[in-house]
Amino acid sequence: MVGGPSLAQQTPEVVVEAPRAEKTTQRGPMGRPMPVLSIVYRVSYADLNIATHSGALELETRIKDSAKKACDQFAKLYPESVEGATPCVQGAVENAMAQASKAEAAAEKAAKKG
């Protein structure tokens, strides 16, 4: 994604990405290696109050479910490139939870102001 949305225009979703485990990579933002192919699921939390514990837990459940689905789908499409479902799911969940944590912190801050 190039030049993502500002915080004021942020879409209430988290991106869950199942990367292709491949030796050939491209350089992404900040020179980090990026997988050539991936499957992306967008997990909406528009219906959740992620400033609450129950809302945050529901978002985590949605992220884990989407990561498993994305990795299962990737394994079916590219069976030769997947090193195993567990590392795929763990990586996808870790990256998505980093996004979720930022969104939750912002929601908690906004809730305290209001």
Task: Tell me the pLDDT tens digit for each residue of 21-50.
Answer: 554 455 666 776 655 678 899 999 999 999
Does residue 47 lie in a domain region?
yes
Residue 3 has pLDDT above 60, yes or no: no
pLDDT value at position 63?
97
Nearest to 65 by CA among 89, 35, 39: 89
Mean pLDDT, residues 86-94 taken together: 91
The domain containing residue 61 runs over which residues?
A: 12-113
pLDDT value at position 19?
72
Does residue 4 lie in a domain region?
no
Cβ neighbours, 10 Å, residue 114:
6
Does residue 7 lie in a domain region?
no
Q: How many domains does the chain have?
A: 1
Does residue 1 lie in a domain region?
no
Q: Which uninterrupted H or E stretch holds 95? A: helix 85-113
Does residue 69 lie in a domain region?
yes
pLDDT value at position 78?
76
pLDDT value at position 27?
61
Amino acid at 40: V
